[in-house]
Amino acid sequence: MRLVVARCQVDYAGRLSAHLPLATRVLMMKADGSVLVHSDGGSYKPLNWMSPPCTVKEGTNDDGKIEWVVTSRSTSKGPEDTLRILIEEVLHDTSHELGIDPGLQKDGVEKHLQELLADHPATLLEGLSLVRREFPTAIGPVDLMCRDSHGLSVAVEIKRRGDIDGVEQLTRYLELLNRDPLLTSKGAVRGIFAAQEIKPQARVLAEDRGIACALVDYNALRGLDDPTDRLF
């Protein structure tokens, strides 16, 4: 991972456009190919970012200033996204090898929820059957890899509380999974975002990306009632 503290200007162009005026920020370039732009506020979320797979070109502009041009194509038919970072001054630049991460250890409720849904995948979608739990990808495991009644692959991401970050996580998984010819031989891999509670913003983002949302009744899955999860 590379960390750069710099005075920089950031411009994004793609499905929309966004501009960050000149200010001091943290630029993070991770080993998985992602590039993130952070400020000293705004909680843990980056101000702007580019998800892998993407290409980073470092050079200089006509004025001799350092410029990073990050490009990515979100889907095979989608527009090319470009993140252009113009660096006025570098205050700190360092690289670190973090090694292999053991992965997130989920809390009891979320882990149990995953186990229950693995046993009863059809509560998410009629005809859905489990292929594998913790299906591996280059950027982390998908909670459940399933197959629908037509034999199409379906990736399921499970959260207690579903927010935008969870949708973004599933989106990154789907981008990778849909490049696997073994999974896409009968059609594109679909996604289901399953949670006990889903925030409205997350639902809107999921629907925009063609991801189904499923509200999960934890007590019902535990056998207290009949499971009646519904797709929205």
What pLDDT is stored for residue 107 in this prediction? 53
- The residue extents of the domains of the chain are 2-95, 108-231
For the beta carbon of residue 177, count every other beta carbon within 10 angstroms.
22
Dihedral class, residue 222 (left if φ above 0, else alpha if ψ from -120 to 50, else beta): alpha
Task: Give the C-alpha separation, 119 to 121, whole Å.
Answer: 6
- The CATH architecture that domain 2-95 belongs to is Distorted Sandwich (2.70)
Q: Which residue has the tokens 């059609």?
A: 187
Domains 2-95 and 108-231 share a fold: no
Residue 120 CB partners (closer than 8 Å, separation 6+): 221, 227
For the beta carbon of residue 172, count every other beta carbon within 10 angstroms.
19
CATH topology (fold) of 108-231: Trna Endonuclease; Chain: A, domain 1 (3.40.1350)
What value, to the nearest 5°, has the Cα angle with vertex 167 and ends 229 and 161? 55
Determine what percent of the chain falls in helix, strand and coil, rounding each to the nearest 5. Answer: 20, 45, 40
What pLDDT is stored for residue 133 in this prediction? 93
What pLDDT is stored for residue 226 in this prediction? 45
What pLDDT is stored for residue 86 in this prediction? 97
Provide the residue-wise pLDDT of the chain in tens; the chain has 232 residues.
999 999 999 999 987 889 999 999 999 999 888 899 999 886 778 999 888 888 999 999 988 999 999 998 655 555 688 999 999 999 999 999 888 776 655 555 678 888 999 999 999 999 999 999 999 988 889 999 999 999 999 999 999 899 999 999 999 999 999 999 999 999 999 999 999 999 999 999 999 999 999 999 888 887 744 444 444 4
